[in-house]
A and B are shown apart, each in its own frame.
Chain A
């Protein structure tokens, strides 16, 4: 019962923060509400026995990526007059949500999911801990993990080349 209550609170928080995010005029408010979504999702990950991923979600998303986004938003120093023409039109937002509900969400919620009866698998007590995930990464996924470091290096150099005024 407690699990259901926590799930519904976190789910409602993530959906409400998500809707707030796509309707705010000011990008800073949107970034703050998006951090709320990430926090709620980290709680849901923790409920799904994914303790390490939950911590990484907070550290990397809320602590790393969103700080970068907020930093760039503040760097560009946009004025209210610049932001007003780019505000969300409620009509178009509602139209998009209704259209997507008809094409994507409705079929998933009412046709696909009711016909599936997935149940939770049997878990060992250390499922999702840092040790188990680390063993998986460094045994089966060692090569993709090393490629990932190359991707990050490429991204950093690419970002420097693009953002620098002249090389």
Chain B
């Protein structure tokens, strides 16, 4: 893969790198906010792939899908943060290790 000119492969490689960073964030952080924000990063990495393939295939369906993903991400953030508020009221913490009531 040459550095120049920019091909679709460059964008797809960047998308893969960002997705990996997102998974690493989900796996390593104990703060529930960090998990939610890493999820947003993973969604954005996938969106970049969608937009790249939309340009490769000259097809606008990829753009429509990205708009749908953005809307679903907004709904997900809304519900997720409501759950965080409810959990914080219950446990007074946002540490994921403390949320183990369902264990045993």
Name A residues whose Cβ lies closer than 8 Å to a Cβ of B: 1, 3-4, 7-8, 11, 14-15, 18-19, 21-22, 27, 30-31, 34, 37-38, 41, 44-45, 48-50, 52-53, 56-57, 60-61, 64-65, 68-69, 72-73, 75-76, 78, 82-83, 85-86, 88-89, 92-93, 96-97, 100-101, 104-105, 108-109, 113-114, 116-123, 127-128, 132-133, 136-137, 140-141, 144, 148, 151-152, 154-156, 158-160, 162-163, 165
The reply to whether B68 and A148 form a contact with Cβ atoms under 8 Å apart is yes
> Interface digits, B35-69 against A, CB 8 Å rule (1 contact, 0 not)?
01110110010011001101111111101101110
Q: A41-B44, A93-B28, A121-B56 are in contact. Are A3 and B7 (CB under 8 A)?
A: no
Contact with B22, one of A18, A122, A128, A159 (Cβ below 8 angstroms): A18
The reply to whether B18 and A155 form a contact with Cβ atoms under 8 Å apart is no
Contact with A31, one of B4, B9, B37 (Cβ below 8 angstroms): B37
The reply to whether B20 and A22 form a contact with Cβ atoms under 8 Å apart is no
The reply to whether A52 and B63 form a contact with Cβ atoms under 8 Å apart is yes
Closest residue of B by beta carbon distance from A25: B31
The smallest beta-carbon distance between B4 and chain A, in angstroms, is: 5
Name B residues whose Cβ lies closer than 8 Å to a Cβ of A: 1, 3-14, 16-25, 27-31, 33-34, 36-38, 40-41, 44, 47-48, 51-52, 54-61, 63-64, 66-68, 70-79, 81-86, 88-89, 93-95
The reply to whether B55 and A34 form a contact with Cβ atoms under 8 Å apart is no
What CA separation (Å) do A105 and B21 show in the bound complex? 10
A-B contact pairs, 12 of them (CB 8 A): A19-B21, A22-B28, A37-B18, A37-B44, A61-B44, A73-B33, A92-B28, A105-B17, A121-B59, A148-B72, A151-B72, A163-B86
